[in-house]
Structure 1
């Protein structure tokens, strides 16, 4: 049976996303990743050079997919903030991996600079705003990520589990916050 390298790499990246999102770089285990990917540790080292290379590739792939799935909409930055919020609701592992990278492997976060630079250029050319395009992007990402990053004890104060209506209300709050920020600076 012929080996399909691309399929194996895809399974490894998928398993690594799950592992690193749950345990971070330090707690992630290549043995668990290999097992979940129906591969072996030797293939991880062959394809990625080791755990560091795998983590970096996994993070870069997750951020690349996010950039593709949620391209900036300079003509509707508030709507884009809602899109970022939605993305984090659907793919919380991307945000978790980003947080782990900032804590454990800040050098891995330098990879997506080009992605962010392109977004900032798109925003800068579309919006005449006293804040820089980078400041606007940082603010939008921070607002869109806020609920996902809130402590469980704080978000757990709500007596009812999160329902669809509550998520929709949170998304709307994100959109309104960005609209007001942009309007205040205009």
Structure 2
């Protein structure tokens, strides 16, 4: 009999759950689809995660952790950081989607621990100048990086000359203007 690799099974379940919950939210996500996609079974999902809420929370935490590890703050170059965040959200839309579903369905599970945000704010604090606090800058940077993923399709379609590169450049330029007033 083949030995089961518990960590590999758990990782496959989390990957399938991230995709399922990003597409359908917690309420619309189906455990049977996750089990099928992960080449596992419903019983194993409940054994690892307890219940559907536990699985959703684990998938959300995993998505946020992956983003934080992939795109840590660059305190000395916030415009470059917003460009990297823009790229991450373009390449991994499921992370933002699962976060948005969490805000709607499970706001108590939707945020990184306060310590994680405090560390990010402390890292970029030297770049914060009035009227912006470090937390203001974090909110603005995330909002700008995510803007094209969350904007209405009709609005994006209205800019017929826009390209991914021009949108990314606009995000970088916006943050540059915020952290260095007077830049073009």
Superposition TM-score tier, normalisation by shorter sequence: over 0.9
* Residue equivalent to 2:164: 167
Matches within 5 A, 1:31-180: 31-124=32-125, 126-130=126-130, 131-158=132-159, 166-180=163-177
Map Cα deviations across residues 35-54 of structure 1 (whole Å, 9 max, x no partner): 11011111111111111011
Distance in 2 (alpha carbons) for counterparts of 1:128 and 1:15: 39
Look up the SS of the partner of 2:142 in the other structure: helix
Look up the SS of the partner of 1:156 in the other structure: helix
Moved over 6 A (4+): none
Q: Could you tell me how far 1:184 is from its partner in structure 2?
A: 3.1
TM-score by length of 2: 0.92
Distance in 2 (alpha carbons) for counterparts of 1:45 and 1:111: 24
Structure 2 unaligned regions, length at least 5: none
Q: Could you tell me how far 1:158 is from its partner in structure 2?
A: 4.9
TM-score by length of 1: 0.91
* Residue equivalent to 2:22: 21
The two structures, once aligned, show a CA RMSD in angstroms of 1.6
Map Cα deviations across residues 87-124 of structure 1 (whole Å, 9 max, x no partner): 00110000001110101110111344332221111111
* Residue equivalent to 2:179: 182
**Matched residue count:** 180
Q: Could you tell me how far 1:33 is from its partner in structure 2?
A: 0.3
